[in-house]
Amino acid sequence: MAETGTTFAADGAEKQFRDGLNRGEFNIQQCASCKKHVFYPRTLCTNCGSPKLVWKRAAGTGTVYSTSTERYKPEAGGDKNIAVVQLDEGPRMLTRITDIAPADVKIGMRVTAHIGEADGIKLIYFRKA
């Protein structure tokens, strides 16, 4: 079967990110023109529109920007945190803070990334630094 995904540039950036995750890497893009970091994966810089986006290993450190609790029944695993984390490189990402009670996650809390899995898909999660 021919690989058709490469003809869609947007799928290409997403696929490269997912391939990195499957290798245990948390990668984000940096614009070679304006030096801004970009996340979620894109084909054009969100700041200056340049197509010169280069993959870099993320530091994996950041700060909780906003937080809330998703309510689930105990048999469904109980309540879960959902948060926006501002990476030290600048971009914000929607994620979960794990290994802590959802209500104990505070705005401004320092966090570090780890790779988790949900429904067989690798995802970037964070825990308290």
Q: State which residue, 33 or 68, has the beta carbon closest to Zn ion.
A: 33
Check binding of 48 to Zn ion (CB under 5 A).
yes
d(CA 82, CA 129): 17
Number of residues that bind Zn ion (CB under 5 A): 7
Q: According to CB under 5 A, which one of 16, 27, 50, 69 is a site residue for Zn ion?
A: 50
Helices and strands (H and E) in the chain: how many: 1, 8
d(CA 24, CA 46): 26
**Half-sphere exposure at residue 10, Cβ-oriented, CA atoms within 13 angstroms:** 1
Q: State which residue, 48 or 101, has the beta carbon closest to Zn ion.
A: 48
- Give yes or no for a contact between 125 and 97, defined as CB atoms under 8 angstroms apart: yes
Span from 7-15, 46-54, 105-113, 118-126 in contact with Zn ion (CB under 5 A): 46-54
What number of other Cβ atoms are within 10 A of residue 71's Cβ? 9
Task: Give the footprint of Zn ion on residues 3-32 (CB under 5 A).
Answer: 31
Q: According to CB under 5 A, which one of 6, 22, 33, 68 is a site residue for Zn ion?
A: 33
Footprint on this chain of Zn ion (rule: CB under 5 A): 31, 33-34, 45, 47-48, 50
